[in-house]
Amino acid sequence: MKLAKLPDRTAVRITIALTLEINARLTAYADVYRATYGTAEPVAALIPAMLEGFLAADKGFAKASKIIGDTP
């Protein structure tokens, strides 16, 4: 699994719409997460960590953030 076990976290709620295909893949990912770590997490709890990993790996975003001075 590329995604590590989730840490304790505080969340901000947002609403998004997904295609049926993405929802099915996320559900399958949650199943693999449960099999890997022995802990069931809802898809909604996994998405923030997945997005964080995606943003951290996006070199174009990192470069642009530095240019506009919006680096966290």
**Neighbour tally for 12: CB within 10 Å:** 5
pLDDT of residue 71: 57
The per-residue pLDDT for range 16-58, each reduced to its tens digit, is: 999 999 999 999 999 999 999 999 999 999 999 999 999 989 9
Q: Which pLDDT band holds residue 70 (cuts at 50, 70, 90)?
A: low
**Neighbour tally for 38: CB within 10 Å:** 8
What's the angle, vertex CA 11, arms to CA 35 and CA 28, rounded to 5? 25
Closest by CA position to 2, among listed 38, 21, 29, 24:
29
φ, ψ at 42 (rounded to 5°): -70, 155
- Could you tell me what percent of the chain has a pLDDT over 90? 54
